Structure 1
Amino acid sequence: MKIALVGIGKIAVDQHVPAIAASDDWELAATVSRHGSVEGVEAFDDFDAMLAARSDIRVVSLCLPPVPRFEYAAKAIRAGRHVMLEKPPGATLAECHMLERMAHAHGVSIYATWHSREADKVSAAKKWLSDKTLNSLHVTWKEDVRRWHPGQEWVWEPGGMGVFDPGINALSIVTEILPDDVHLKSAYLDIPSNKQTPIGAALEFVHPTGAAVTADFDWRQTGDQIWMIEAVTEQGTLTLTDGGARILIDGIEDAVQSENPLHGEYPNLYAKMARLVTNGGVDMDLRPMVHVSDALALGRRTAVEPFYE
């Protein structure tokens, strides 16, 4: 199937373009970007012009920042195109619900992707936890914003989510691997005095059986980057590290390779999008975004030192 990639920035170049190129399901037929392009692929700088000129392109993958994404997705759906949304799927929950309703009304597929759910050991963690009694779960997600979002000022503006841009990756894993849903109890947010969104966050959740579920997010990490989830159960302790790429049970690493032949988060996402389009499916799981929205609503804000690149 022919697909158009909209927003040719770092994530598109690093992840989306290679995943599409390696897939037997997709042909990258066009790009839309004010500044970027992909060699050998027809490039547009206007989305409406692409939709008008390329009626043969059935699917649009949106890699734009979350704030402008709704307008592009709505235009694509009205034009009868299937839509794939980079995470987070939008700037607000209301617009995500609207897009899902529009997709159903126009008979097209829409997919809110969560790439961290496709990390190699996430499915194994979900299976292991499925019959365990949870005592506690703690997320430690600490990285250097200068390394991963250099010069991307939109992350500090309303709708950019700040540290929840990576933190939502952790929440997407937690909502996938826990057998029971949790909801937010409290949040503490560190806001740089010259920014609009948090650079650090501490979250506490309510679990239906009383297990302690907490998370610490920080964008000021130097040195080693930490993407870890530890779940303590009455039957043992599970630890996911490296963003879900490695799993340890009671400190012993499971080195068994995944049976999934795709070997990669974004190849898995594009394979699922192909299935959704083929079968007429919709996947708009918004649970990770609900937690972020709740944190921004309930969070106690503390002003911290200004942040500069």
Structure 2
Amino acid sequence: MNSRRSFIKRSLLASMVPLTGLTPVFGMSILGGNSKRKVYIFSKHLQWLDFDEMALTAKNIGFDGIDLTVRPKGHVIPERVKEDLPRAINAIKAAGLDADRMTTAITDPEDALTIDILETAAKEGIKNYRLGWFDYNPTLSIEENITGFNLKLRGLAKLNKELGLTAAYQNHAGEMAGGPVWDMSLMLDGIDPNLVGVRYDIRHATVEGGTSWPLGMKLLADKINSFDVKDFIWKKTDGKWRPFNVRVGEGMVDFDRYFQIIDELSIKGDFTIHLEYPIGGAEHGATTLSCSSDEVISAMKKNLNTLRSFL
């Protein structure tokens, strides 16, 4: 705890001067010219800090905002959203950061906690939130599953319209809905992407798509309203090949091609950085670190610098 407090005190002093190496790259870039896209930090990786310390730390690293976890085991748990979400938003805004984005586990428009979370979020000025994931029911056909997902998303779209919110469904590698990417196009059929769209994750798209992921990205282009960013490599362990997460720019994601497509198709949306590789438990949302806070902060700076070099 003392080391954490010491870090926060050093951060207060550091906030008085620019952070070395955190100046965005202007001029010529992959996205062309001066990018105005914002970069958020996923608050899952800062759950070892309270609201005020989280916000101050993110500000001093150089992020534009915080993508707040409002879900089970998150910074704000759903059962306490009315009490804790306003406190978290106030802390983020007090640090001079954007507080208009959150990540949830929401999938059911009729759940009482869904209503509580979204109504509170709307009052606090949140505009974009990430949904939870749907699982395919093996007793139903793929088509029947997708029809059911579409109905749920239509219900959420109706809520979002009433509250002035935009939701995003993230593609995630594996057999859950959104893994193959193309299914999201069907899941979202007939739904205004300004109400429910796609949180496009290039890491997961590359795991599933190999070298064909650009086709899926183009298919979803008019539905994408935000981005999650991370990287990975394939590694063989126990005789099986598995994806292992690494720092942005050190893995298999073709960021040059990724940003080229974003630019060519004028895909809108801001970015949330994820650090899912081993950094003292912060990668899993730990509330106590097994490494120094400086190591976690250094990792965040490196990922931010790399992403900003593309913008």
TM-score, length of structure 1 as denominator length: 0.30
Greater fraction helix = 2
TM-score, length of structure 2 as denominator length: 0.30
